[in-house]
Amino acid sequence: MVENPELQKTNVEQIEVKSWQIEVEEETTGVRLDVFLAKALPDLSRTRIKQLILAGDVSIDGARIGEPKLRVKPSMKVSLTLPPPEDPIPKPENIPLDIAYEDDQLIVINKPAGMVVHPAPGALDGTLVNALIHHCGETLAGIGGVKRPGIVHRLDKNTTGIMVVAKSDRAHKHLAAQFADHGRTGPLTRNYVAFIWGHHQGFSGSINVPLGRDPRNRLKQAVRKDGRVAITHFKTLARYSGDNWHIAKIQCSLETGRTHQIRVHMAHVGHPVVGDPTYGAGFATKALALPAPLKAIIQSLPRQALHAAHLGFTHPKTKQEVSFSAELPADMAALDRALEPYKNQTVG
């Protein structure tokens, strides 16, 4: 027996990460199986070990054992493998939501900046899912047999705007199919408003370059030849200019829905989103050339100036086309007002 499986003694072999094989020694003869393992593996509680035995994760000499009270005998080889940890079950949290529409099948919300959509390492609470579980309560019919909201698309933590979430399996399946189609054959439409640095040489156009995970930083996306197809269509809504600076207000629509797609695509063509700390950090000094009031607003902008302004889709129950829009949030509206005196007369 060993006190710590990390100590590679002759009678204990750690065959892989979080998997152990332990040989029973003479002095442990007659000890209950759960007690034996609890002493051999002090990092695991006896309660946890009992659960693993009952779940069939423990075997003796190759045969699965489901009886914690079984008495061990000398030379037995006891194996235990920890299953992958289960995803945490999000807890309901009373977080205010800006609700644009709700019925028994779905809910449409205007997501604020700073809110993560789904629990993940580093953000296990305070998310949109936590808020929805609390708000929807018993009206959640369940997704896959679990009472949880059905996320069919996401917005970055610091991107604001319209999102739709399913409340039933039926709605989840129907909406997921529409988002997978990206509006190619159906009525799904997604329009974003963004402020970007510079003036694109065309008043409108498309960016079609593949995206994938950045090999140097797993938290970022990058243009990659081996990436997934990503297509962003854009048109200029307004252009603003001053001494040695240019900013444009654009509308983007997505033909695909890759992570950070608009932000990476606009940075790729040399016009990153204003305030983007990840893909536009190199343009932060451009704010120094701006007139004082405008410079102050942009330097205080805590996020990328990107907003999901419009979403249209077919309702999964009524089969009617519905659409929802959200005005610019306060920070982007302030930027919009501050730019107005510098607006060019010619817009595409």
Active site members: 156
| Exposure letters 312-325 (e unless 16+ CB within 10 A, then b) | bbbbbeeeeeeebe
Look at the block and give the residue holding tokens 């593996």.
Answer: 41
With beta carbons less than 8 A apart as the criterion, state whether 230 and 205 touch: no
d(CA 257, CA 299): 29
176: Cα separation from own chain's centroid: 16
Look at the block and give the residue holding tokens 């708000």.
Answer: 135
With beta carbons less than 8 A apart as the criterion, state whether 275 and 113 touch: no
Beta-strand pair 189-197/217-223: unpaired
| Exposure letters 2-12 (e unless 16+ CB within 10 A, then b) | beebeeeeeeb
d(CA 100, CA 109): 5
Residues in the chain: 348
| Exposure letters 261-274 (e unless 16+ CB within 10 A, then b) | bbbbbbbbbebbbb
271: Cα separation from own chain's centroid: 25
* Beta carbons within 8 Å of 178's beta carbon, 6+ residues apart: 152, 186, 187, 188, 313, 314
d(CA 289, CA 285): 8
d(CA 231, CA 248): 20
d(CA 151, CA 167): 9
Count of other CB atoms within 10 angstroms of residue 212 = 16
